[in-house]
Amino acid sequence: MIRDHIMYILNSKNILCLIYVVLVSSFFSESIAEGCDPGKKQLFFHCDSTVNSIIDSTFSEDFIKQLKSPLLEIGYCLTTLDSAAPTDSSNLNDLLMNLSFNYSEEDSIAVVLIGLQRISEWEENPGPSNPLLSLVYEPGEISTFLSVLVRKTVENLRTGYVCHLRIQSVPVGVRIKAETGLEGSTPLEWILPVGDMMITGELDGFESVQRKLDLSDPGIHTYLLEMQKRLFYHSKFIYPAAVFGLSAIACFAAERYYYSRYMELGREDYFNNPERFAVTYNRAKVFEGAAFTSLILSCTSLALTFWF
């Protein structure tokens, strides 16, 4: 009876642990799926309620689905704006794409507007203050209208908010790491959203370089990294080379001192004071061995300074 009860508790704990693992795994998988890839910049999307009510109830959903893949190709990760995003200080400088509907009764013209502004600006003045594009709505051709809207949105973003980065180096093959997570070897080309970016360049045998790239303007940006050979006295192995070298000098001096004292001892010292005779000789040999060992380590460290 007691054994069955214990087994029941253990099985219950296993079930609880399994449920916990499943929940945690699903949470992280959703987080990873919703997250942006390295080098991509987050672009929030907000749709005015009038758009779906006037055009179609699924218009905004279809617009997002068709827009996500082309935007990823030019460096933007489209994310639906939620209530927590505007209050998060890390998102205030991110761009917000606002989709709205404008109808003029006088002209009987319906226009779909897409505005682009910072989240911080949108909080103060919601609306298309910086219109990315405006397109006249034709109710009879909703599918064609949607595809044209997607294409023009991507074109306008590419023209005004995307840059083409080219990084070259002398010599070639420099490993480039960007703070956004992008990595590659020169010569390389990246399609990126506008904005500043810090990169680090590394190549064996050369000094590493860091540079802040100004990519605030759209278009083609070309940068050339001229790598400098790493000098041996800049190597981390120069310090053990110096320490072992000084140690070798000190040990050679001590060896000469005890060896000279050993040579001064005569036949009488050998028979009358054999202990002093042996101690002096052994100390000379010990310092001799330590001197050669330090010399070898110093030379090895000095040789490594030319590679590391």
Say what the pLDDT of residue 173 is.
Answer: 93
CATH number for domain 162-231, candidates 3.30.590.10, 2.60.40.1120, 3.40.50.1370, 2.60.40.420: 2.60.40.1120
Say what the pLDDT of residue 10 is.
Answer: 41
Residue 72 pLDDT > 60, yes or no? yes
Query: Both tokens of residue 65?
Result: 């689905």
Q: Is 88 or 207 the better-scoring residue by pLDDT?
A: 207
How many residues belong to the chain? 308
Say what the pLDDT of residue 105 is.
Answer: 66
Residue 20 pLDDT > 50, yes or no? no
What would the mean pLDDT of 223-245 be, rounded to a whole number?
79
Say what the pLDDT of residue 226 is.
Answer: 92
Query: Both tokens of residue 213?
Result: 């790239």
C-alpha to C-alpha distances, 177 to 106, 173, 186, 188, 200, nearest whole angstrom: 56, 13, 11, 12, 5
Domains 41-161 and 162-231 equal at CATH topology level: no
In this structure, of 145-149, 209-213, 277-281, the range with the lowest mean pLDDT score is: 277-281
Three-state DSSP state, 61 = helix
Q: Which residues of 132-163 are buried (b: 16+ CB within 10 A; e: fewer)?
A: bbeeebeeeeeeebbeebbeebbeebbeebbb
d(CA 190, CA 159): 15
Say what the pLDDT of residue 237 is.
Answer: 74
Say what the pLDDT of residue 83 is.
Answer: 66
Q: Mean pLDDT highest for which of 5-9, 15-19, 154-158, 279-283?
A: 154-158
Residue 31 pLDDT > 50, yes or no? no
Q: Where are the domains of the chain?
A: 41-161, 162-231, 233-304
Position 175 confidence tier, pLDDT thresholds 50, 70, 90: very high
What would the mean pLDDT of 245-257 be, rounded to a whole number?
88
Q: What is the mean pLDDT of the chain?
A: 78
In this structure, of 191-200, 226-235, 237-246, 258-267, the range with the lowest mean pLDDT score is: 226-235
d(CA 220, CA 28): 37
Q: The whole model's pTM is what? A: 0.56
Residue 23 pLDDT > 80, yes or no? no
Kindly report whether the peptide bond that precedes residue 86 is cis, defined as omega within 30 degrees of 0: no
Lateral strand order in the sheet of 188-193: 188-193, 162-170, 219-226
In this structure, of 55-64, 148-157, 261-270, the range with the lowest mean pLDDT score is: 261-270
Say what the pLDDT of residue 267 is.
Answer: 67
Position 203 confidence tier, pLDDT thresholds 50, 70, 90: very high
- Whether CATH 1.10.150.20 fits 41-161: no
Three-state DSSP state, 182 = coil
Query: Both tokens of residue 122?
Result: 């949108």
**Going by C-beta distance under 8 Å and a sequence separation of 6 or more, which residues neighbour residue 230?**
205, 206, 207
